[in-house]
Structure 1
Amino acid sequence: MTILRRLAAAAIVIGLGMTALGLAATADWRLGLIVNFRLQLLFGFMILVAIMIAVGDRRWLVPAVAGLAINAILVGPWFGFGLGTSSGESVTVLHLNLLAANRDTAAVVELLHETDADIAFLAEATASWRRRLRLVEIPFDVVATPGDVRFGIIALSRIPVETRVLGVSTFQLPTPLLSFDLDGEPITVMSFHTTSPVNTRRDAARDEQLMALSDLVSSVDGHGVLIGDLNATPWTPGMSLIEDAGYQNSLRSSGLQPSWPAGLGPFMIPIDHAFHSEGLEVIDRRTVASSGSDHLGVEIELAVKR
């Protein structure tokens, strides 16, 4: 029991340190990475509280409960379940980060044949991926490609859409916007892949892109959906900009659905997102097979609120 108590006490100190550092996520890109693990900290403190109760250590129980409470306050709102029940016309959108180095074309093609999605976005589509997908049969029309960039987003659709590709942020990243009517009302579905924040420069680029996305969704007429790999969790400070612009993160309806790194179970974090305007409701949201990628795909069904 003494060894267990000491190990648990050390874990409490580390957990409280990570919790505190995460609150200063805007100060340094490394602190921004720590904030991604709020969910793991929450469950970790649950275990530590149980251990301290079991060994009867009230001295360490208090800080363990404090760590649990802080992370529960931050994570709790994302456990809400509020899926819609509309019986009207709906649209289903699929997003998958292909992973540039992924060679499993067959698995991606299988996913595209099995999905019920009306629209699909494939991120990290390199020239190699674009070439391979041209050589196979898929049940979608290719409605947008990223042009000459090293890798970008391919947009696919089974339904008639009007397509635009805009350069978004100071980086002018090609961003597909697909417009059509849903249940008699205009809707635009768009996809984006932000820069991974693995150093100071790239962290600043990711944050600038999140700000640009908030401007983009604010400019959309009618209903809108933004889906993609945003390289940020719900607790990343810049993510609030998109919700401040009037788009709700669909995880608030479905509950947390970690998507990366695929296959690591309790260590996965939710960085693939789908936001929607207030006039839409989430009928279903789920993660789907990684198809050889390091990300799970995200599939979401939405309808107009009635």
Structure 2
Amino acid sequence: MLRLLALASAAGLLSPWLTALAAPHSQHLAWLFDLLSHWQWLYLGLLPLCLALLARRSPRWLLLLPLLALPWLSLATALPPQTGAARLSLQLVSANLQQSDDAGALRAWLDAQPADLVLLQEVSPAMAAQLQRWADYPHRLLAPEDSPFGLALLSRLPLVQPRVQVDGDGIPAIEAQVDSGAHDLALTLAHPMPPLSPYWQHKRDLGLQVLLQRNAATGLPGLLVGDLNASPWSHGLRQVEDLGWYRASDLRATWPTWGQGWLGIAIDQVLARGPWRVAEQSLGPDLGSDHLPRRLRLELLDND
């Protein structure tokens, strides 16, 4: 059993590459490897423990130790370090509310730590009715649903042409331009269907690429935010660099909440395009959802 667990953990650490290798040949196999790829923290914990026990009988098991470096080689590329003066500082919050009907915990957190932009997923009609009354976020687009795909964008900054875009499967996304006064930026809020099958994995990855390309077509610095149902090791996120996008969010797990950011997987993401710098970031408190929210302070740099 211990050997099987060690080999399974080793395969898990290799799964991001196995996904890419399988994709041209078998969509089902690529889907299975992609599901395995999310749990890199679990494999990093299990493999050294198994090897320590197995090596007491056969030191050859220690030959697998270099695999522990793989998660840092296979993840989606982080936003490159950049220097320069900040022309805009932006406090951003993203939270999956799991269709909660009570905005109390979210309201208390934002009262204590205000944000410029609040991007919400799984927004129910009852939640939207409460958000509508928040006078300190006068610019908003609410698109609630009695399903996991309700969205809401709340802003202290003016929004230009905010709109809901719905794909062929009925999955919505919100697109808007934010008028910061210093520089406009393009903003996308997304919550794709979880990859419950090869079809939905393909749709998640393809839909993400379409949204990133639409955002980039504005020619503005861009942000795409939301519960993407994709970890930094998933096939979909590892491809975003090819489109000029980078991961601004860190590797801390956001789902499920019982790990408080130490266990689970990081599927709530912030992707950035342009001269952005992450000044601060943290996970927020338990808001009664199965996700922990993210908070980032982003700086848009003057690169002229």
Q: TM-score, normalised by structure 2?
A: 0.83
The answer to whether the 8 Å contact 1:42/1:72 transfers is no
Residue identity opposite 1:141 in structure 2: P
Distance 1:76 1:230, change over 3 A: closer
| Alignment equivalent of 2:143, drawn from 146, 152, 157 | 146
For residues 258-288 of structure 1, give each alpha carbon's deviation from its aligned partner in whole angstroms, at most 9, with x where no partner exists.
Answer: 1111122543111011111122221122211
Structure 2 gaps, min length 5: none
Number of the residue aligned with 1:260: 255
Shift, 1:31, TM fit: 2.5
Distance 1:257 1:20, change over 3 A: closer
Distance 1:12 1:148, change over 3 A: closer
Alpha-carbon distance in 1 for matches of 2:153, 2:77: 32
Number of the residue aligned with 2:200: 202
Number of the residue aligned with 1:59: 60
Say whether 1:289 aligns with 2:279. no
Residue identity opposite 1:129 in structure 2: M
Number of the residue aligned with 1:31: 33
> 81-90 or 284-293: which moved more?
81-90
Distance 1:218 1:172, change over 3 A: farther
The answer to whether the 8 Å contact 1:125/1:152 transfers is yes
Aligned residues: percent identity? 21
Number of the residue aligned with 1:124: 122
The answer to whether the 8 Å contact 1:168/1:212 transfers is no
Number of the residue aligned with 1:16: 10
| Alignment equivalent of 2:44, drawn from 23, 42, 46 | 42
Distance 1:75 1:178, change over 3 A: closer
Distance 1:203 1:61, change over 3 A: same
Shift, 1:165, TM fit: 0.8
Q: How many residues align?
A: 292
The answer to whether the 8 Å contact 2:94/2:118 transfers is yes
Alpha-carbon distance in 2 for matches of 1:98, 1:148: 12
For residues 79-129 of structure 1, give each alpha carbon's deviation from its aligned partner in whole angstroms, at most 9, with x where no partner exists.
Answer: x995878554311111111102x3443212222322321011111112232
Number of the residue aligned with 1:3: none
Which structure dedicates a bigger proportion of its chain to helix?
Answer: 1
For residues 39-89 of structure 1, give each alpha carbon's deviation from its aligned partner in whole angstroms, at most 9, with x where no partner exists.
Answer: 321233233444456x37312211x314324445325976x9958785543
